[in-house]
Amino acid sequence: MDLLLFLLVSFVILFVAYKVVGQWLVRVFSLSTEETTPAHELRDGLDYEPARMSYLLPQHFSAIAAAGPIVGPILAGTYFGWGPAWLWILVGSILIGGIHDFTALVSSVRHRGQSVAQLVREYMNPRAYMLFLIFIWFALIYVVIAFTDVTAGTFVQKGSSAEAEAPGPAVATSSVLYLLLAVAMGLCLRFTKLGPLRAKLIFLPLVGVAILIGPYIPVDLEKLLPADWNAQQVWGYVLLAYCFLAAMAPVWSLLQPRGELGGYFLYLVMLFGVLGIGIGALTGGLHIEQSFFKGWNAKDSFGEAAPLLPILFITVACGACSGFHSIVASGTTSKQLRCEMDARPIGYGGMLLEGFFACISLATLMILSDPKGGPNLIYAQGIADFGNRVVSPLLPESVSLADVLFKFALLCFATFVFDTLDACTRLARYVLMELLGWKTRAQAALATLLSLGIPIYAVSLPRIEFGGKEVPLWQVFWGIFGSSNQLLAALTLLGVTVWLARKGKPYWFTLGPTLFMLLMSLWSLILTIRPYVVLRNSGAEISAIRHVQFLVCVSLVGLAAWLIVEAIITWQTMIRGGARRESLAEAG
C-alpha cells in the first residue's frame, strides 16, 4: 500500500463511521437540541458554563489526545507490524473507543454532569462506587509513572545532530522555557487587559524562540550532577515535583494557558503529517519501509513472549480506546456541553479524530527502514521529515530546518506529556479527596502527595538490565498502564450498560465492547503475572520492580473481578425485579 493511500483510506473510513455510526447513536439516545443541558441548568460561571462546539471540541481533543496515541501505535507497529496496529486503531476507535467516549459523555449530561463513578453509585451500589474510585485512582497513578519516565528519558536522550550534541538537554531547556511562558501568559490574562487573541499572538512566537534557544543553553544534568547520580532519575523527581505544583496551582495560572499553547502544537503536528505525507508520496520521496505483518508473537522488554492476542490491544491503548477519556468527558466536557447534539462531534468525533492522529503517529514508524531509539525519537524523526517536506520548498536550497523541526517535534512530544502528567495528578487528587471525603486546601495538598507517592517510589527503584541494556521504567509499566486504561474503559462501559438496561434501552452495542475489553485486559495482566510466578517457583532472584509489577497486576485483577461480581449481582436483581413485575401484572 502507498503511504498516501494509507492516509486517505484511514480518513475516509473514519469519516464514513462518523456519518453512519454517529448518526445511529444520535437516534438510539434520542439526542435533541431542545433538551436543557447541565451547562445551562446549573450554570455557575465556574464549572458549568455552556461553550460553542467550535470551542469545546478543540479543548476536549487537546485534553484526551496526549502522548498515548503516539507511543502506543509506534510500539505496536514495532512488535507486530503496522497492519495489525492500523486495523485495530480503525476498528477500535469506531466500534469501541468512540462509543465509550460518546456514552460516557451522554450519560453524564443526562445526570446533571455527574461523573461515571456517580453513575455506578446510582445504578449499582455504594460499594461498587468505592471500588470504581479506587480503580480510577490506580489507573491515573500508572499513567503518571509511565509518562514521567518517557519524558525524563527524552530530556537525557543523546543525539548525533551536528548542531547539538544532546538534543534531549536542549529540549529540556525549551520545555522549561515553554512552561515559564505559559505561566507568564496566565498572569497576563488574569491581571492585565491583554485579551486572549493578543496573548496568543505574543506568546506563540515566543515558544518558537524557546525552541531556537534550547540548543545554545542545554540543561545537561549528566554534566552538572556527580558521576554516581542517575540523570534520568533526577529528571523523574523534578517532573514529579512539577506535577505537585501544577496540580495545586489555580487552573488559570498554568493548566489553561499551557493547554491553549499546547493545542496549537497538536494541530500543527497533524497539519505537518497530512501535508508532509501528501507531498512526500506525490514526489516519490516517501515510501512504506516497515512490514505489514511481523508475526503472531513478539518479544517484550524482558525477552518474554508477547502474543498478538491480547498484547496488541493493550499496547495501542489510547489510539483506539482509552478509559481516561471517560474521566475527561464526564468530568469537564459534560459541564460545558451547550446542547445534546454536540455530543456527536465532541464525544464520538473527538475519538475518531484521535484515531486519525494515531494513524499519523504510526506513519512516522512506517517510513523508517531501521528505526532507532524509543517512540519519542521515532515520532520526532517522522514529524521532522514531514514538516521539512512542507517548508523546504519555501526556503532557499542552502537553508535547512531539519534540525529545528526535530527539536520542535521532541518539544511537541514533551508538551503532550505535560498535558497528561499534571491533568492526571490533578484528577488523582480529586478522586482521592472524593474517596476520603476531604475538602480543605491542606487535605488537597496531602492527597496530591499521596497520589505521587507510588510514582516517586517507582522512579527511585534500580533499573532492570536485559541483554546488556537497561530497560526503561516506562517499558516495564507500559503494559500495566495499557491494561489498567483498557480495564477502566471496560468498567465504564459496564456502568453505562447497567444504566441502559435499567432504562429499558438497547445495550448490546456497549455490552459487546465491555466483554471484549475485559477479556483482553485481564488476559494481558495474567500474562504479566505468570513470569513472576515462574521466577518465584524457580528460586531465582527477583528485582524490586518485578515485585511492584506483580502486586500492581494482582490488585488490578482483584478490583476488576470484584466490580464484575457487583455488576452481576445488580443484573440478577434487575432480572428478579422484572420477573416480579411481570407476575404482579399477570395476577392483576
pLDDT at 415 over 90: no
Predicted local confidence at residue 322, as pLDDT: 92
Whose cell is 494509507? That residue is 6
Neighbouring residues of 448: CB distance < 8 A, sequence distance ≥ 6: 244, 247, 248, 425, 428, 429
pLDDT digits (tens, 9 = 90+) for 358-392: 999 999 999 998 888 788 889 989 998 998 888 88
How much is the average pLDDT of 199-204? Answer: 90
Q: In sequence order, what DSSP letters do the residues of 118-173 get, joined into one string?
A: HHHHHHT-HHHHHHHHHHHHHHHHHHHHHHHHHHHHHHH-----SS-S-HHHHHHH
Predicted local confidence at residue 578, as pLDDT: 60
Nearest to 144 by CA among 570, 487, 484: 484
How much is the average pLDDT of 151-177? Answer: 73
What are 468's three cell numbers? 546488556
CB 345 within 8 A of CB 337: no
CB 465 within 8 A of CB 90: no
Model confidence, pTM = 0.88
Nearest to 536 by CA among 523, 524, 519, 549: 549
How much is the average pLDDT of 138-162? Answer: 79
Sign of the Cα torsion 81, 86, 89, 91 reads negative
Neighbouring residues of 155: CB distance < 8 A, sequence distance ≥ 6: 168, 169, 171, 172, 175, 219, 221, 232, 235, 414
User: Could you tell me how many residues make up the chain?
Assistant: 588
Predicted local confidence at residue 161, as pLDDT: 41
**How does residue 163 score in pLDDT terms, banded at 50, 70 and 90?**
very low
Query: How many CB atoms are closer than 10 A to CB 192?
Result: 10
Helices marked H in 372-507: 375-391, 402-436, 441-460, 473-502
pLDDT at 164 over 50: no
Every domain of the chain and the residues it spans: 3-587
Predicted local confidence at residue 466, as pLDDT: 63
Q: What is the DSSP letter of 337?
A: B
Q: In sequence order, what DSSP letters do the residues of 224-291 get, joined into one string?
A: HS-TTS-HHHHHHHHHHHHHHHHHHS-TTTTHHHHHHHHHHHHHHHHHHHHHHHHHHHHHT-----S-
Buried b (16+ CB within 10 A) or exposed e, 284-295: eebebebeeebe
pLDDT at 23 over 50: yes
Predicted local confidence at residue 521, as pLDDT: 92
Query: For the chain, what is the mean pLDDT?
Result: 86
Residue 301: exposure state from Cβ atoms within 10 A (0-12, 13-18, ≥19):
middle
CB 288 within 8 A of CB 277: no
pLDDT digits (tens, 9 = 90+) for 425-477: 888 888 898 888 888 889 999 999 999 999 999 898 887 766 667 777 787 77
pLDDT digits (tens, 9 = 90+) for 504-528: 889 999 999 999 999 999 999 998 8
Residue type, 275: L
Whose cell is 484515531? That residue is 355
Predicted local confidence at residue 588, as pLDDT: 52
* Helix, strand, or coil (residue 299): strand
How much is the average pLDDT of 331-345? Answer: 90
How much is the average pLDDT of 233-252? Answer: 90
Residue type, 129: Y
Predicted local confidence at residue 427, as pLDDT: 83
Nearest to 99 by CA among 201, 2, 22: 22
Peptide bond into 50 cis (omega under 30): no
Nearest to 276 by CA among 4, 23, 558, 580: 4
Provide the percentage of residues in the chain whose pLDDT is more than 70: 94
CB 243 within 8 A of CB 428: no
Looking at CATH, the fold of the domain delimited by 3-587 is given as: Amino acid/polyamine transporter I (1.20.1740)
CB 556 within 8 A of CB 525: yes
